């Protein structure tokens, strides 16, 4: 996967989380955005590294939200 694609997906995930204004599981986000769970996870990793999102484990699932929500 090219780094430009990862960056584009990270932007899409960030915008989606901003519009969602709540937490969402990686699986739900993947379905909603029509991206593979792996592509979403890589994008979330990018956003975590930049400290732009919250991530929390609940049971066996990871939930993400836009920073500040």
pLDDT score for 22: 87
What's the pTM? 0.86
DSSP letters, 14-29, are: HHHHHHH-S-EEHHHH
**What confidence tier does 69 reach under pLDDT thresholds 50, 70, 90?**
low
How many separate domains does the chain show?
A: 1
C-beta separation of 39 from 45 below 8 A: no
Q: Strand order in 61-66's β-sheet?
A: 24-25, 61-66, 53-58
Domain limits for position 58: 3-66
**What confidence tier does 21 reach under pLDDT thresholds 50, 70, 90?**
confident
Position 14 pLDDT exceeds 80? yes
CATH number of the domain enclosing 8: 1.10.10.10
The secondary structure of residue 2, as a DSSP letter, is -
H runs (alpha helix) in 1-69: 3-20, 26-33, 37-49
């Amino acid at each position: 996967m090219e780094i430009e694609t990862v960056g584009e997906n990270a932007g899409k995930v960030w915008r989606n989380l901003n519009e969602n204004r709540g937490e969402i599981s990686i699986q739900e986000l993947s379905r909603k955005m029509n991206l593979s769970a792996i592509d979403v996870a890589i994008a979330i990793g990018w956003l975590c590294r930049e400290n732009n999102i919250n991530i929390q484990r609940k049971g066996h699932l990871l939930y993400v939200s836009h920073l500040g929500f």
